[in-house]
A and B are shown apart, each in its own frame.
Chain A
Amino acid sequence: MSSTGAHRLLPIGVTGIDNRKLGMWIFLASEVMLFAGLIGSFVNLRAANLVMMTEAAGLLNRPLGALNTFILITSSLTMALAVGAIQRGNRERLRLFLLLTIILALAFMGVKAVEYGQKFSHHYTAHTNLFFSFYFIMTGIHAFHVLVGVIVLSVVLAKANSQKMDALVVENVGLYWHFVDVVWIFLFPLLYLT
C-alpha cells in the first residue's frame, strides 16, 4: 500500500499520523456502515417476524457460537501481543504471535464449518426462512473477512523478518483483525442469544 512508482512520498503527513494508519481507520469507518446495513435490516425484519425469528434462533448451536467467540477474542489478544512485539523490535515473538493468531483464525473457521455442516445436514439453508437467510449472509460475510485476515496475516508472517515490514504494517493488520473481532462481538448476541 505504500506509494510506489514515480512519486515516492514519505508517509508522515501534516497531522503527524502515518498515511497508512489514517487510511486503515477510514477504511474501517466504511466497513462499519456495511455491517450497519446488514444489522439494521436484521433488527427490523426480526421485529416484523418476531416469533419465527426467535424460534429459528433457538435452533442455532449456542455452545459452538460461544466457543467461537472465545477463540476470536483470544486471537485478538495474540494479535495485540504481536503488535506489541514488533513495536519493541522483537521479531521472534512477532512470528510466534502471528502464527498463534492464524491458528486461532483457522480454528474459528473450522468451528464455523462444523456449524454450517450441522445446519445443512438438518436442511437449514439460506432459503429455509428469513432467519437462516440472515444467519448465512451475515456470518458468511464475516467469515469472508476472517479469510482475508488469514491471508494477510500469512503474508505478514512470511515477510516478518524483512526490514520493509515495519511496525505500522503489523499495527494496521491488527486494526483490521480487531475490527473483525468487534463485528463478531455484535453478531454473536444478535444471532445466537436473543
Chain B
Amino acid sequence: MTEHAKHRLSSKDYVMVFLGLMVLTGLTVALSYTGLGEGMRTFLAFAIASAKALLVALLFMHLRFEPRPIIIFAVTPVVLAVLFILAISPEVGVVR
C-alpha cells in the first residue's frame, strides 16, 4: 500500500497544502486581533488548528493513503486525548 502512496502526491500538491496552512495561520492570527468574544475566539482558534492538523496528518503524513492498522493508531489517541481533556475540564475549572 505504501507503494501506491509514494506517487500519489506531487511537489505541487505539497506546495498547495503549504499555502493552505499559511492562509489558515494568517487567518487565526488575524482573528486574534479582532474584538470577538472570548468563547468565540477560542472556538475558532481550535477549529482552525484542528483543520491545520488534519491537513498535515492526511497529506504531509500520507495518512489518507495508509492501511487500517495505521489509521487506527492515529485516531485512537486523538479520541482519547479529547475525552481526557473534556472529562477533566469541569472538575478543575468550574467546580474547584
Could you mark each residue 12-24 of chain B with 1 if its beta carbon is under 8 Å from any beta carbon of chain A, else 0? 0011011001100
- Tell me if B92 and A45 are in contact (CB < 8 A): yes
From 147 to 194 in chain A, residues with beta carbon under 8 angstroms from any chain B beta carbon are: 167, 174-175, 178-179, 181-182, 185-186, 188-189, 192-194
With contacts A29-B73, A66-B29, A193-B28 taken as known, whether A40 is within 8 angstroms of B85 at the C-beta atoms is yes
Number of A-B contacts (CB under 8 A): 140
Which candidate, A68-76, A105-113, A137-145, is the interface stretch facing chain B?
A68-76
**Given the complex, which residues of B lie within 8 Å of A76, measured CB to CB?**
18, 21, 56, 60
Could you mark each residue 53-92 of chain A with 1 if its beta carbon is under 8 Å from any beta carbon of chain B, else 0? 0100000001000100110011011011100100100000
From 78 to 128 in chain A, residues with beta carbon under 8 angstroms from any chain B beta carbon are: 79-81, 84, 87
Where chain A touches its partner, the secondary structure class is helix
Number of interface residues of B (CB under 8 A): 50
The answer for the CA separation of A70 and B23 in the assembled complex, in Å, is 10
**Given the complex, which residues of B lie within 8 Å of A18, measured CB to CB?**
2
**Given the complex, which residues of B lie within 8 Å of A44, measured CB to CB?**
88-89, 91-93
Could you mark each residue 16-51 of chain A with 1 if its beta carbon is under 8 Å from any beta carbon of chain B, else 0? 111001100110111011011101100111111000
- Tell me if B73 and A36 are in contact (CB < 8 A): no
Q: Tell which of B1, B53, B57 touches A16, judged by Cβ atoms closer than 8 Å.
A: B1
User: Interface extent on A, as a size class?
Assistant: 35 or more
The answer for the CA separation of A54 and B77 in the assembled complex, in Å, is 29
Using CB atoms, name the residue of chain A closest to B81: A36
**Given the complex, which residues of B lie within 8 Å of A182, measured CB to CB?**
52-53, 56-57
From 51 to 78 in chain B, residues with beta carbon under 8 angstroms from any chain A beta carbon are: 52-53, 56-57, 60-61, 67, 69-70, 73-74, 76-78
The answer for the CA separation of A106 and B52 in the assembled complex, in Å, is 22
With contacts A62-B32, A73-B21, A185-B56 taken as known, whether A17 is within 8 angstroms of B45 at the C-beta atoms is no
The answer for the CA separation of A17 and B81 in the assembled complex, in Å, is 26
- Tell me if B74 and A40 are in contact (CB < 8 A): no
- Tell me if A84 and B9 are in contact (CB < 8 A): yes
Beyond the given A39-B81, A40-B84, A47-B92, could you list 9 further A-B residue pairs with CB under 8 A, ordered by the A residue number? A29-B73, A29-B74, A32-B77, A40-B88, A43-B89, A43-B93, A44-B89, A62-B32, A84-B9
